Structure formats: structure tokens, C-alpha cells
Structure 1
């Protein structure tokens, strides 16, 4: 991740680029410090056992789930179903934009 990239946001979708889970999508559920975040996807990585990941090992994608963000900021937690829904919403939105040629 270069210094020109924006900082991560709670509820932001990321693509893991290094490690065993490379290529998978996850959501930032907590920012530990300037170098590390906690990630969950609601399926393999549940909210209760998130993955600690270095920011240099993820690509920040241009989508922040408003539902996940609101839930985490208000209640401090989010359901695994909501995490799965947010990732599928991002994937469907990306496919739709790709099919439209944008």
C-alpha cells in the first residue's frame, strides 16, 4: 500500500493480497493502529474471531458498507450475516458496473 492511498475506514471492503487468504474479500471491523486492522467476512472469518492483517497486505477497495459501519459505530458489533450481505452487495455492484462497461 503506498502512502498516497487513503487510510482504512470501519466497514470498508478490502481484498487480501498476501497470505493464505490472498484474493478473498473481507471487511475492516476495527483499526488497531496505523499499520494493522482486524478483518472479518462473516463466513470463514467470523466477527468473533477476526483476522489481524497488516495494511500493506490488503488493497483498500472504494466501497464502505453503510450498514456495517453504522452497526459497528453504534453497537460495537455486527452480525456475520450483515458482513456477508455487504460483501455480496459490493460484488454484485462491481459486476453490474463491469457489465455496463464502466
Structure 2
């Protein structure tokens, strides 16, 4: 059986399906139990956040406190903070950008 996936704002995810497959992004909005909006600050800007099915994402254990704080304070986050969050995740997890499990 499928176990429920817990996702939260500011969490880094790996995109499994679609044009941006095998890239990392940050959750900037939770739409409902099936969809979230993601952005990476580079190819997917915050203003045009992409709506993704959670089944097409692999959640990572990293949650960016800077992104969470910014979203809670103003409801927005800068693209620079999103780029920083993704790059910090990749620098702390050097094997994260490899394909497969």
C-alpha cells in the first residue's frame, strides 16, 4: 500500500516526471492533498511556480528555514533564496544529483 507522503513548505524535492525531471526545487505552496507548487528560483521562478502532482516528486529531508520564514512573514520568497536553498541542499548532499536510488 502507498504510505501517505508528508510535505511541508520550504522542503526540497526532486522532480521525477515532466520537463524538469531529475532537478531539485522547493515547495512554495501546498494546494491540496494531491498538488503542490514548486519553484527553484532559476528555471521556475516564484511568480510562475509550477503546480505538480505529489506523486511526481521525491521529497528530501532538507527543509530551508529561510524559505519557510520568508513565506510566513510576507507570503513571498525571493528567487535568490530559492536558488540558495537548492544549492545548499546539493552541497550538503553530494550524491543527491545522481539518478536512481
Q: Distance in 1 between matches of 2:61 and 2:2?
A: 16
Question: Which consecutive unaligned segments of at least 5 residues does structure 2 have?
Answer: 96-101
Question: Which consecutive unaligned segments of at least 5 residues does structure 1 have?
Answer: 97-102
Q: 1:18-72: CA deviations, max 9, x gaps? A: 1111101000000000000000000010000000000000000000000001100
Q: Residue 91 of structure 2 aligns with which residue?
A: 92
Scaled by the length of structure 1, the TM-score of the pair is 0.88
Scaled by the length of structure 2, the TM-score of the pair is 0.89
- What pairs with 1:10-21 in structure 2 (closer than 5 Å)? 10-21=9-20
RMSD between aligned alpha carbons? 1.4
Q: Residue 99 of structure 1 aligns with which residue?
A: none
Could you list the structure 1 runs, at least 4 aligned residues long, displaced by more than 2 angstroms after superposition.
Answer: 2-6
Shift of 1:75: 0.8
Shift of 1:74: 1.2
- What pairs with 1:23-34 in structure 2 (closer than 5 Å)? 23-34=22-33
